[in-house]
Amino acid sequence: MAALPWEKVTENCGASFDCVRDIFVHSLQAEQFWIRSLSGKSVEGIFETPFTRFSNFSVVQEYADEVEAETNEYLKTLTDEKLRSVFEFRGWDGKMKRHRIEDILMHVVEEEIHHRGELLCIYWQSDIRPPYISYMAYKGQA
Ligand code: NI
């Protein structure tokens, strides 16, 4: 994202959220929301933070690093038993929901893939070759 000019990142693109910055920050907020929920931490203020607060690349990067650190911290606590255990929460519709933690984490991954796909499309529509790193390349060789 930092390879793009800031005007491009905040230009209206008519996708799920107004612009590349908003889509990316939304996916970070969604990840933080679920990881904090599963960690028993407060989620207050996550979705209330306006996208405009992320006013340059370094603020976005700082937030991405913060969310990644929180996620890594949570993932360290996981066990097979915990993954299979059921998490109860109140949904957006006000009703109580019960889902296995592994299914909630799969939802977080799916949410990211969905929004990344959107971002790739926006890049292509702007004739910009999107960055691509395979998961295996990211992880490195065993
Ligand atoms: Ni979303």
Say if residue 132's pLDDT is above 80.
yes
Distance from the alpha carbon of residue 141 to the mean position of ligand 1, in angstroms: 31
Q: How far apart are CA 109 and CA 84, in angstroms?
A: 17
Distance from the alpha carbon of residue 30 to the mean position of ligand 1, in angstroms: 7
pTM for the whole structure: 0.91
Distance from the alpha carbon of residue 23 to the mean position of ligand 1, in angstroms: 8
Of 121, 84, 120, the closest CA to residue 105 belongs to 84
Distance from the alpha carbon of residue 21 to the mean position of ligand 1, in angstroms: 13
Distance from the alpha carbon of residue 28 to the mean position of ligand 1, in angstroms: 9
Give the pLDDT confidence of 41-87 residue by residue, as tens digits.
Answer: 999 999 999 999 999 999 999 999 999 999 999 999 999 999 999 99
The verdict on domain 15-126 having CATH code 1.10.760.10 is: no
Distance from the alpha carbon of residue 85 to the mean position of ligand 1, in angstroms: 24
What residues does each domain of the chain span?
Answer: 15-126
